[in-house]
Amino acid sequence: MPTFSERMGLRPKKIMQIDSMDDELKVSLYNATRLFESSLGQDSSARTERIHKLIWCNILHINYNDIPYSLTKKLNVIKNSYNSLAWYEAYDFIEKYLQYSYSIYGQATDNLIKTINSILEEHNSGFRLLGKKLIPVTNEMEIASIAEAAKTGYENIDEHMNDAIEAFSEKLNTNYKMVIHHSITAAEAAAGVAAKSEGLSLNNYLKILNDNGDINSVMAEAFSKLYGYTCHKDAGIRHALCLDAKHPPNFEEAKYMLVTCSAFVNFMKQKFMG
């Protein structure tokens, strides 16, 4: 969201930060972790000590025996080491911090994720958090839809959605076929729950739902064709994940399938899963 000075033309509006991170964003992300720790109160001091040791050893890779007893000295070393990180290493820091935070603080970490996403949006970062993973930015409504689809409470659906998110988050080595594969498989699993059946294909589940009058026939046909795309020999996604496909999927197709399948999963969830 543009600030007052940006709206008034007194300060240039920030461009999208894709392959960089300015000092304001970098400092804001670090401050978010410290404010989060402070918000947990004195009762969490032992857990905070654990996360500091994990940062020291596993993120900053400093010898354990060099950890100072003084909290102030320890935090100064962590802060100075963080400040020296390259932009992509700072994002590594945030992802690993969230991983440790979930293991130590549990669901309280969800508040930190919301804070970080607000910071990323405010500073026009090219990334947003989905769970503990940073993914290339898309619009906020799509991100919310994907996040919701990964929390149906059905293990098979959630597992495939999280695998799709994981594959999509690998910016430098993204396997777009796997993004599409797991996205459509999550949709298939959701349709199976809705149809109260298992072991069939998405097309079979859609037919059951259509025959029962539970889903519009045009919608069923549209998703059946989308499923057909993922099984087509030229795309080579569902079957054998072949490497010599004539038309290998790209970022735009992978994103489209992830967002579309998320919307389908959410539709199935709201209509059939309570």
Q: 112, 137, 162: which is the final residue of a domain?
A: 137
- Structural domain count of the chain: 2
Q: 83, 115, 137: which is the final residue of a domain?
A: 137
Note the pLDDT of residue 46.
87
Note whether 126 and 158 are same-domain residues: no
Note whether 170 and 107 are same-domain residues: no
With a cut of 90, say whether residue 233 has pLDDT above it. Answer: no
| pLDDT > 90 fraction of the chain, expressed in percent and rounded | 54
Instruction: Give the residue numbers spanning the domain of 92.
Output: 4-137
Note whether 169 and 121 are same-domain residues: no
Note whether 155 and 206 are same-domain residues: yes
Note the pLDDT of residue 249.
80
pLDDT, one tens digit per residue, over 35-66 is 999 998 877 788 889 999 999 999 989 899 99
Q: What is the DSSP letter of 127?
A: E
Note whether 124 and 158 are same-domain residues: no
Note the pLDDT of residue 55.
93
Note whether 190 and 129 are same-domain residues: no
Note the pLDDT of residue 154.
95
In which band, very low, low, confident or very high, does the pLDDT at 260 lie, cut at 50, 70 and 90?
very high
pLDDT, one tens digit per residue, over 105-133 is 999 999 999 999 999 988 889 899 988 88
Q: 106, 137, 168: which is the final residue of a domain?
A: 137
With a cut of 80, say whether residue 104 has pLDDT above it. Answer: yes
Note whether 87 and 168 are same-domain residues: no
Note whether 168 and 116 are same-domain residues: no
Note whether 15 and 131 are same-domain residues: yes
Note the pLDDT of residue 13.
60
Note the pLDDT of residue 85.
95
Note the pLDDT of residue 188.
94
Q: How far apart are CA 217 and CA 2, in angstroms?
A: 44
Least confident of 30-39, 55-64, 137-146: 137-146
Of residues 45 and 241, the one with the higher pLDDT is: 45
Note the pLDDT of residue 119.
95
For residue 226, give the CATH number of its domain: 1.20.120
In which band, very low, low, confident or very high, does the pLDDT at 274 lie, cut at 50, 70 and 90?
confident
Note whether 203 and 155 are same-domain residues: yes
Note whether 130 and 245 are same-domain residues: no
Q: Confirm whether pTM is higher than 0.75.
A: no
Least confident of 23-27, 64-68, 244-248: 244-248
**Cα radius of gyration rounded to whole Å, the chain:** 22
Note the pLDDT of residue 230.
80
Note whether 123 and 86 are same-domain residues: yes
